[in-house]
Chains A and B, each alone.
Chain A
Amino acid sequence: MITAGCDIGSLTSKGVIMENGRIKAAAVISSTSNPQSSAEKVMNLAVEKAGMAMDDIDVCVGTGYGRDRIPFVQDTASEIVCHGTGARWLVPGAMTVIDIGGQDCKVIRLDAGGQVEKFITNDKCASGTGRFLEVMARVLGVSLDELGTFSAGTMSPITFASTCTVWAQADVIRHLNDGHPLEDIGAGINSAMANRVSMLVSGSKPRPEICMTGGVSKNRGVVQTLEKLLGSRIHLPRRADPQLAGAIGAALLAQKNGRGGAN
């Protein structure tokens, strides 16, 4: 059975094609202002990579904020359910999922069967989301990948007094003007990010194993500090790009729920 998951986020759109529980192909693009065209674009790309046609897909499930405007899906599912399902597939023992995307942060607790037990999200404040890191990387003049290499363990990170992205940005500029090394400021930014996320995680009473998905899980500095703050190891996905968790979850749900025959 061939299933697909289509995750239309506010910043990126993701498409995954799975065959009998294995990933055949995946694609990630920047979202356009029109969710429908984003969905068509990303799925066409994934289908092309898999050497298939759209007709070959038995069932496709949509998720993400633009899920209700994807024309070709048979079903939709909430982001929380898809991210939980995707994370459990990526890290099989995961009981707590920390997913940090470009504009939000979710903490999801799963039960033994992989069902969502409870969740907390922050999408009101840029601090603690990928957006915080993007703003800071731009001020520092480094890429997001480079920012991730500034780790609290190896340098003396600067402590940021403000949580707010706007105030922290002003602090970064001041530290740069004062001549502080880029690495120390960068490590401080990653620690500030981890601090903010740890507050949300602690509020959800996390249980091991803890795993992290979403783009920010690629930032080693954040992950290491977060491990220290939570006093627990954080498992990272190895089977696929951590950004794909939602789309993978959607494709898995498509397989589980079937419905393909009807179409």
Chain B
Amino acid sequence: MISAGCDVGSLTAKGLLLNESGIVASEVIPVSGRPARAALEVMNLVLKSAGLSMKDITHLVGTGYGRKRIDFAHSIESEITCHGMGAWWGDHSIRTIIDIGGQDAKAIRVNHEGEVERYVYNDKCASGTGRFLEIMAEALEVPLDGMASEEEKSTRDVHISSQCVIFAESEVISLVNEGVPVPDIIKGLHGAMAARATALARSIGIEERITFSGGVARNGGVLRGLEESLGTSLVRTGSNPQLNGALGGALIGARKCGVHVKPPRMMKEEHGTVQAGH
């Protein structure tokens, strides 16, 4: 059996292949133009790296905001269902998932089987989404990927009072003009972002343990801020959090074929090959 998850987001498309023993291959590409094309492109890429072709896929699940345009999908599932499943699979102790993407933010609560119990979603306001950090990085002339390492040079706490991206951008520019060091501002921005996400998650009731996914989860500064505002350490599943949607899709695809794929950690334990540090 080969199941596949294809997650077409607003900024990136993700493809992932799964067999009975785990993840076979995965790819992430930027979306330029039509979602349908990005879906095909990313699937061709991931199939190529696995040495497989489209007809080898037993069940392909489409998800993400462009999911309805994926004409070769056998079924489609909501992003929430896929993200919930994908994150939970990495560590079955996970009950709450905070996911921040380029244009949205969500908090999902799952049960002991990775099924969604409650969720909350923000795509109405850019504040609290990845776009917030993108705009601030531009204003500060710091590459987005360099924000977290810049923060490490911070020596003083700065509070960003504006919630709105537009107002926060002006606030950041005036802080720079006042001579406030950029690393301090960045730390303040990460904290503001984390506070927004915490408020969103609290609205559905947080249950431990918690994990952080989506593109913004790659930013260690926001992760630090979240751990601070939540007052607990987050689960790091070790997988690329950006791939959770596609992974969840592929897992649901496998279940539709009657296959329950076990996570790598559980397999290792069963085979008695638990590595140091696990």
Contacts and interface: CB of A to CB of B under 8 A. Distances in A.
Do A and B come together as binding partners?
Answer: yes
A81 B124 CA distance: 33
Nearest to B174: A33
A125 interface: yes
Interface residues of A, number: 14
A103 interface: yes
A166 B174 contact: no
A231 to B, nearest CB: 26
Nearest to B168: A126
B163 A164 contact: no
A166 B165 CA distance: 7
B135 A166 contact: yes
Contacts of A166: 126, 131, 135, 165-166
Nearest to B177: A33
Contact of B167 (A103, A162, A167): A103
Interface residues of B, number: 14
Interface string B122-143: 0011100001000100000000
Interface SS of chain A: loop
B203 to A, nearest CB: 17
B76 to A, nearest CB: 22
A164 B135 contact: no
Nearest to B126: A166
Contact of B165 (A103, A163, A165): A165
A135 interface: yes
Contacts of A135: 166
B164 interface: yes
A124 interface: yes
A131 interface: yes
Interface in A94-151: 103, 124-126, 131-132, 135
A33 B177 CA distance: 10
Interface of A: 33, 103, 124-126, 131-132, 135, 162-167
